[in-house]
Amino acid sequence: MRKLLLILALTFACKKPPEPAKSNVTVGATLPLTGAEARIGGFYKEGYELAFEQQSAKGGLSLGGKLVPVTLVLQDDTSTQATAVALADQLINSAKVDALLGTYSSHLVEAQSAIAEENRIPYVNGGGGASEIYQRNYKYLFGLMAPVELLGEALMGWIDDQQSQNKLPKPARISLVWENTAHGKDFRKGVTAFAAKHKGQYEVVVDESFELSAKDFSALLNKVKASNADIFLADAHLPDYITMHRQYVTAGLCHKVISYGARGSEKQAAEALGQKNVEYVLSAVWWNQQLGTKGLTKAFVDAFQARYKRAPEWYQALAYETARALFTAMEQAGTADKEKVREKLASFSGDSILPEGKLSFPSAQGQQAHYAFVVQQNQPDGTSPIVWPKAVANAPGVAPNPDCAAAQ
């Protein structure tokens, strides 16, 4: 009997006491609020802050039947990898955050997510779309940006439809230039794979990379000019798009179809380059506010316009949905426990503001969301209607570019 009592006493002594209920959930994040990506970082900040404001208006997160306040600790990673990594480490090990929301830009997300994985903390991001990020068998990394490869395919889908209507030549000659990053390589892969599947319809006559934040693209554009291409496809972040397109216009270049990947419709670009100079630029994006006619998407668009007095772009939408996905996973788990939240994210399937209306993180894709891009095209009146896919398009789009068709 005495032996039994001793065993029981040791058992209870070794038993870990239950963790006290959390009085506050803290989520950490960094964004490029200064440096090359500062403007886009500011857009992501707007999306994050709106999501947190809405959750706070509900009284916080509902965890195990109790409302728990949730706060965001946001820091500036200055658009640099080393800072993004260092700050993530501080947020995890000094601030003791319960989860991380990712930064913006694939090369920053790739570096920062390694710190989250090392510390086994959920890292949910809407700012890294390069598929290479999700091929490392990470368990704590979740991405809302569909792969950039699909972006290239979406652009080619609309181009192919125009070619089938005899609006573009066959074969069509493509000048393809791409940033020398995982993002750019995925874009290149999407375009070249599509061209390879449609033999005799497309010929890639320029296939060149460039470095981020370059100041002079003249040598590259001279190659494009000499190629006599019908189609100019570039993958570029916003600052490079503005710089390159300014030099493109100055050089007198003109193509039947022109795209800078996900960039093209931004108000900042039109202001910097002149509305006339961005006419008919094609772009494929992860989200478009024109999808917001009902349900969650309309609620988001309405709330954003009420808060910021303007319409949201895809940047704010992806940031907002990233935070909302984390909140939903925590509430489904009933706790902020890192492992339980990770498990809920891994099995996540729910309604979303994303184009197909659903969000999941398929394990076969490295926990990167997959859905169709929407293709939009700038028009002379300043609008950028959706032109592809046909299921959601509200305009057919224009090809060839009427501003330079006579010169081709």
148 vs 286: CA distance, rounded Å: 10
Among candidate residues 318, 269, 262, 239, the one with its CA nearest the CA of residue 35: 239
pTM of the shown model? 0.86
Q: Is 13's pLDDT higher than 80?
A: no
pLDDT value for 178: 98
What percentage of the chain reaches a pLDDT higher than 90?
89
**Structure tokens given for 223:** 């190659």
Among candidate residues 247, 248, 226, 244, the one with its CA nearest the CA of residue 235: 244
Q: Is 4's pLDDT higher than 60?
A: no
Confidence band for 404, pLDDT divided at 50, 70 and 90: confident
What's 392's DSSP letter? T
List of residues 6+ apart from 334 with CB closer than 8 A: 63, 64, 65, 340
SS3 category, 172: strand
pLDDT value for 407: 46
Q: Is 5's pLDDT higher than 60?
A: no
What does the domain layout of the chain look like in residue ranges? 25-146+292-365, 149-285+378-407
- Per DSSP, the residues of 10-24 read HHHHHSPPPPPPPS-
Across the range 384-398, mean pLDDT stands at 94
The Cα angle at residue 188 between residues 185 and 190, in degrees rounded to 5: 110
For the segment 306-363, what is each residue's pLDDT rounded down to a tens digit?
999 999 999 999 999 999 999 999 999 999 999 999 999 999 999 999 998 999 999 9
How many Cα atoms sit within 13 Å of 240 on the Cβ side?
22
CATH number of 149-285+378-407: 3.40.50.2300
pLDDT value for 21: 59
Q: Is 393's pLDDT higher than 80?
A: yes
For the segment 136-151, what is each residue's pLDDT rounded down to a tens digit?
999 999 999 999 999 9
Report how far apart, in Å, the C-alpha atoms of 384 and of each of 233, 257, 278 are: 18, 15, 11
SS3 category, 168: coil
Q: Is 368 exposed, middle or buried (0-12, 13-18, 19+ CB in 10 A)?
A: buried
Report how far apart, in Å, the C-alpha atoms of 6 and of each of 14, 16, 17, 67 are: 12, 18, 19, 41
**Structure tokens given for 254:** 């003109």
Q: How far apart are the first and last CA of the chain?
A: 98
What's 158's DSSP letter? H
Is-same-fold flag (25-146+292-365; 149-285+378-407)? yes
193 vs 152: CA distance, rounded Å: 9
**Structure tokens given for 26:** 């803290």
352 vs 347: CA distance, rounded Å: 15
Q: Which residue has the tokens 């006290």?
A: 20
Radius of gyration of the chain (CA): 24
pLDDT value for 22: 72
User: What is the rounded average pLDDT for all residues in the chain?
Assistant: 93
319 vs 234: CA distance, rounded Å: 24
Q: Is 294's pLDDT higher than 50?
A: yes
For the segment 183-240, what is each residue's pLDDT rounded down to a tens digit?
999 999 999 999 999 999 999 999 999 999 999 999 999 999 999 999 999 999 999 9
pLDDT value for 8: 39
How many Cα atoms sit within 13 Å of 280 on the Cβ side?
16
Report how far apart, in Å, the C-alpha atoms of 153 and of each of 48, 85, 181, 283 are: 29, 32, 18, 12
pLDDT value for 405: 57
Helix 218-227 with 238-250: angle, nearest 10 deg: 60
Secondary element (H or E) of residue 62:
strand 61-63
- Ramachandran area for residue 104 (φ above 0: left; ψ -120 to 50: alpha; else beta): beta
246 vs 271: CA distance, rounded Å: 12
For the segment 72-130, what is each residue's pLDDT rounded down to a tens digit?
999 999 999 999 999 999 999 999 999 999 999 999 999 999 999 999 999 999 999 99
pLDDT value for 297: 94
Burial 141-161 (b: 16+ CB within 10 A, else e): bbbbbbbbbbbbbbbbbbbbb
CATH 3.30.420.10 fits domain 25-146+292-365: no
SS3 category, 68: strand
SS3 category, 98: coil
